[in-house]
Amino acid sequence: MNPAGGAGRFSFEAIGTGWHIDTPAELPTEVRAVVLNLIDEYDAVYSRFRPDSRIAVLAGGGSVDLPASGEALGGLYRTLHRLTGGAMSPLVGRSLEQLGYDAGYSFVPLGTAVPAAGWDDTFEWIRTTIRSEQPVTLDVGAAGKGQLVDLVSAALLEAGYPEHTVDAGGDMAHRGSSPLRIALEHPYTPESAIGVVTLDNRALCASGSNRRRWADGLHHVLDATTGQCVDTVVATWVLAADAMVADALATALFLVPPEVLLAEFDFDYVRVQSDGRAQFSTSLAGALF
Amino acid sequence: MTHTVKMPYQRWALTGIAALSLLGSAGCAASPTPAPGNGGAAGGDAADTAVPGGGSGDYANGTYSATGSYQTPGGEESIGVTVTLESGAVADVQTEPMPSNGTTELYQGKFSSGIKEQIVGTPLDELSVDKVSGSSLTSGGFSNAIEQIKSEAAQ
């Protein structure tokens, strides 16, 4: 692999994944600190895996004030909740815990699948405020990492680094004049790829059920209306203008066909079903081997 | 979205689905032995293309193209479909939008998609790429936890 992205590469571990930030010139210490601090602050608000996170109080019901980023995140979840008939929901945290994907990583199912709480009168996410009458476990994992990639990208721009690639474990945003070639990892054999796409001033996010698995074939992509794992799709990739949308759509493609999402979003995609068949947007014709 | 612009898409989707399922079943019926023990990495049954019953039909390998047309409020529109057959099975399907007015262009372009009957892997070290995107990379925390459980379970 050729280490494109130029002279500066800043690599670190955060929110449970490996990050690589490439810039033409090496990032000075103070900019690195800004980036790390930003990620820390986001995690302190939204993490489902930290008992001291801001959203953790919703486990007892109540209300939470979010930073400015919360408005776009809530709006996106609301739209995708509607388009997927409730299958995609920020309330899916409780269903994940039921199957054993809890804050303590127990991976021991508590029992049979439980549907997520409904996004009804008892729960609201309006601008930067969440209120819940019921105890709920919020999980914004389907879009949160993407939004964090966008926030880091915006911070780099503001710090005077308009050319950069922010890669958080394969979910990435690219800004600059030299496009990148990105291999799409084979869902069953990670040392190979099923295709290559060009990333040029857009974001690319992946979702897959084949890797994050535990007992009895359980994995982390659930249908919130049933609380059960989705097994008809095994891997998705989405190219979109920003990483938050790309990240969320990559999960939504597990739950509804592309056409449903294309009615309201502009994006390109590859969607691999469990039988090995792949669907892709025509602009990606030639991307798959 | 208005009625006028929605129609071409709906019509196209119907045409597309009909064409693909027909080709899918033809492809399967034509393959005499579905490669038993084909333990390819991308294993999994192609249940939704398998059609029981005795289709006979021999399909020569090659690339076949056809153009379908349909009526829209703005006149007749066409879309091209190209299918590649290999070993009697559909190896690739490409659609080519051929819009004659702007509204159709917008919707055909947005909704037309390709289908590959079976994904194929190429080793990463044979590719010249800058990065890899995929699920094995997305959660180090998760992987670490699973590894820890495995090692504890092994003790």
Once rounded to an integer, what is the mean pLDDT over residues A195-221?
A: 84
**Interface residue of A211, A221, A238, A289 to substitute, partner B, most B CBs within 10 Å:** A211
Determine contact: A286 vs chain B, CB below 8 A: no
Q: How far apart (Å, rounded) are the C-alpha atoms in residues A134 and A95?
A: 15
Q: Which residue of A has its CA nearest to B114?
A: A280
Once rounded to an integer, what is the mean pLDDT over residues A7-33?
A: 93
pLDDT at B30: 31
Is the predicted pLDDT of residue B16 greater than 60, yes or no? Answer: no
Q: pLDDT class for B60, splitting at 50, 70, 90? A: confident
pTM, two decimal places = 0.74
pLDDT at B31: 32
Q: pLDDT class for A123, splitting at 50, 70, 90? A: very high
B83 Cβ contact partners less than 8 Å away, ≥ 6 residues apart: B23, B63, B64, B65, B90, B92, B93, B94
**DSSP-derived pairing of the beta strands A129-132 and A123-126:** antiparallel
pLDDT at B51: 34
What is the Cα A154 distance to its own chain's centre? 17
Determine contact: A284 vs chain B, CB below 8 A: yes
- List of chain A residues whose C-beta atoms are within 8 Å of the C-beta of residue B93: none
CB contact under 8 A, A170 and B46: no
pLDDT at B102: 60
In this structure, which CATH number among 3.40.50, 2.30.30, 1.10.3980, 2.60.40 belongs to the domain A52-132? 1.10.3980
Instruction: Determine whether B43 is exposed, middle or buried from the number of CB atoms within 10 Å of its CB (0-12, 13-18, 19+).
Output: exposed
Q: Hey, which bits of B25-145 come out as E strands?
A: 62-72, 75-86, 89-98, 113-116, 122-123, 131-133
CB contact under 8 A, B137 and A285: no
pLDDT at B124: 87
- List of chain B residues whose C-beta atoms are within 8 Å of the C-beta of residue A182: 129-133
Nearest Cα of chain B lies from the Cα of A133 at a distance, in angstroms, of: 31
Q: pLDDT class for A285, splitting at 50, 70, 90? A: confident
Is the predicted pLDDT of residue A186 greater than 70, yes or no? Answer: yes
- List of chain A residues whose C-beta atoms are within 8 Å of the C-beta of residue B109: 282
Q: Answer with the residue of higher pLDDT: B48 or B133.
A: B133
pLDDT at B14: 34
Q: How far apart (Å, rounded) are the C-alpha atoms in residues A276 and A42?
A: 36
CB contact under 8 A, B132 and A185: yes
Per-residue pLDDT of B73-101, as tens digits, reads: 666 767 676 767 777 666 766 666 666 66
Average pLDDT in chain A: 91
pLDDT at B35: 35
Give the whole-number percent of chain A exceeding pLDDT 90: 71
Q: pLDDT class for A90, splitting at 50, 70, 90? A: very high
CB contact under 8 A, B133 and A184: yes
Per-residue pLDDT of B108-134, as tens digits, reads: 555 667 888 889 999 988 898 999 998
Of B122, B128, B146, the CB nearest to A289: B122
Of B111, B141, B144, the CB nearest to A262: B111
Q: How far apart (Å, rounded) are the C-alpha atoms in residues B19 and A118?
A: 39
Q: How far apart (Å, rounded) are the C-alpha atoms in residues A16 and B149?
A: 17
Q: Answer with the residue of higher pLDDT: B108 or A102.
A: A102
pLDDT at B56: 40
- List of chain A residues whose C-beta atoms are within 8 Å of the C-beta of residue B116: 277-280, 288
Other CB atoms within 10 A of residue A151 CB: 21
Is the predicted pLDDT of residue A266 greater than 70, yes or no? Answer: yes
pLDDT at B101: 63
Domain residue spans in chain B?
Answer: 1-32+59-117
User: How many inter-chain contacts (A to B, CB under 8 Å) are there?
Assistant: 205
CA distances from B32 to A127, B41, B116 (A): 59, 22, 21
Q: Answer with the residue of higher pLDDT: B25 or B120.
A: B120
Determine contact: A198 vs chain B, CB below 8 A: no
Range with the lowest mean pLDDT among A123-132, A193-202, A213-222, B136-145?
Answer: B136-145
Range with the lowest mean pLDDT among A50-64, A171-185, B33-47, B48-62?
Answer: B33-47
Domain residue spans in chain A?
Answer: 52-132
CB contact under 8 A, B132 and A170: yes
